A and B are shown apart, each in its own frame.
Chain A
Amino acid sequence: MATARPGWSRRAQYGLFFSFIAVIAGIIVGLILLTLSLVAPQQFDRVRGAALDLTAPVTGGLHEVVATAEGLFSGAGNYWDAANQNAELKRERQAMLRRMVEAKAIFQENLQLKAVLQLREHERGTIAVGRIVGSSFNSPRRFAILSAGTNDGVKIGMPVRSPDGLVGRIIDAGALASRVLLVSDRANIVPARLLRNGIPIIAQGRGDGTIDVRPLEVGRNPFKRGDIIISSGTGGLYPPLVPIGRVVKLDDDGAVALPMADPATTSFAIVEPPFEPSAVSDNTPSTPGHP
């Protein structure tokens, strides 16, 4: 196809013409598929799930190697200055124990108050536990690959958290692995509130590993550096009281927060059922931000 005319051979000329047509057809098919995946993304759920399953064993296997290598280095670092660390940990443990007793008392009181109010709360179970084994490389979107799939009961739309905080929600599910829309993605908006004073805020990813947080009510900037953001459970998709991020920088009418659950260092992630199951079934067909 390098020259305008390959010579006097009819066969070569036709070959050139048909390959030209085939490329145009490729572009058109691509555009149609792209339009479909923008308008009706759930069409391709099965294909995308199958692709995830194909790479899951490789990704999962290599992850063990990387984790072991990292563990060797950080493990060696832990022995450095062990005596001082030990003393400090003991002090911290004492302080934590005192706090825990207080918390237990508050928990008991909370139960009694809820019983008085006859507040019904859904049982929060664990659907599956997986590892975060990969992520999107080159994309303005932030996805991660989780090593648990529909075989473990994972469904599209379920929230994912780690012991440290909220990770995101499932957007593609294969049998062995699934894709998670991280809280740092631009399309992921989480209703949240400030732990310090309970002011309702909106947390939206910034696409570069950080989260943008804004108060719902316009006015004075309520944030301070070091503030903890927790989910509020509004909307019913994400469970309430899960830590989302820590404020690191203030700007004009909001702040920038770092996710508490850094996907790069999170070892285990827990898939939970949606807080209000009806929220997902209503939302999924029109969930914005689904690839």
Chain B
Amino acid sequence: MVRAALTPTRRIGQAPWRFAAYVPAATVVAATLLSALPIISTSGWYPDFGFLVLIGWRLLRADPWPAWWAAPLGFVNDLFTGYPLGFSIALWSATMLALDLIDRRTMWRDYRTEWVLAAVLIATDEWLQWRVAKLLDANPPLSQMAPPLIISICVFPLCAWIVSRIDAWRLGR
């Protein structure tokens, strides 16, 4: 009787992975490093993978990492993608803050709400990139930002799905 109570109830191999707490941040860095792939894009229509994975995690869970980690993660993104240094630091921290505030307001969430939220965040990202490019004497028309925006919004569900699979794996479910 006593012996039965002492034996662990959980099945072997079902525990969260040992470094489970660091997996979300590591996947964001990995997504950022996709820009090191030897793909030469002359149009710049690829999505901002690091940002997509970041909001994918944050929409899936309220605490994938301590909120202030967004700043160092953004720093890594700036360094490897060639954005002006500080752009992703500020944007990613602000995203964490904005999503925290939205979390307080919303009563319920579903798949479509999250996609709309992600779309708004991606649009903000693209718009700010356009503003910063303007400040740096590269003056692209706003219409040029439409294709990458649409592609990013369409790619987001895929990113969110991959993130949810990684989440299940890291928690051993």
Contact = CB atoms under 8 A, between A and B. Distances in A.
Interface in A42-63: 44, 47-48, 51, 54-55, 58-60, 62-63
Contact of A29 (B87, B89, B136): B89
B86 A62 contact: no
B80 A37 contact: no
Given A1-B100, A55-B36, A139-B82, 9 more contacts: A26-B93, A30-B93, A137-B47, A138-B81, A140-B44, A142-B42, A209-B42, A262-B42, A289-B138
Nearest to A181: B138
Contacts of A83: none
Contacts of A106: none
Interface stretch (A17-25, A72-80, A227-235): A17-25
Contacts of A44: 85
Contact of B133 (A37, A140, A172): A140
Interface residues of A, number: 66
Interface string A1-34: 1111000000000000001101111110111111
Contact of B49 (A22, A137, A206, A264): A137
Contact of A23 (B70, B79, B103, B145): B70
B88 to A, nearest CB: 8
10 contacts: A23-B67, A23-B100, A25-B71, A33-B85, A34-B84, A135-B40, A138-B48, A138-B152, A187-B138, A291-B136
B68 interface: yes
A239 interface: no
Contacts of B86: 29-37
Contact of B89 (A19, A26, A59, A262): A26
Contacts of A38: 84, 132, 135-136
Contacts of A25: 68, 71
Interface in A188-237: 205-209
B13 interface: no
Identify the 6 closest CB pairs spanning chains A and B, nearest first: A30-B90, A33-B86, A30-B89, A209-B42, A34-B86, A26-B71
Contact of A186 (B81, B87, B133): B133
A58 B36 CA distance: 7
Given A1-B67, A48-B79, A136-B35, A263 B138 contact: no
Contacts of A247: none
Contacts of B37: 59, 62, 134
A108 B89 CA distance: 58
A291 B84 contact: yes
Interface residues of B, number: 60
B62 interface: yes
Contact of B136 (A55, A172, A187): A187
A20 B42 CA distance: 40
Given A27-B93, A48-B79, A62-B38, A139 B67 contact: no
B71 to A, nearest CB: 3
Interface in B94-139: 94, 96-97, 100, 103-104, 129-130, 132-133, 135-139
Contact of B36 (A59, A140, A209): A59
A51 B48 CA distance: 18
A184 B42 contact: yes
B102 to A, nearest CB: 10
B44 A23 contact: no
> Considering residues B38, B63, B71, B74, which has the most beta carbons from chain A within 10 angstroms of its beta carbon?
B38
Contacts of A62: 37-38
B166 to A, nearest CB: 21
B85 to A, nearest CB: 4
A272 interface: no
A235 B123 CA distance: 39
Contact of A37 (B39, B43, B85, B91): B85
A209 B93 CA distance: 32
A169 interface: no
B83 interface: yes
Contact of B103 (A1, A138, A142, A172): A1
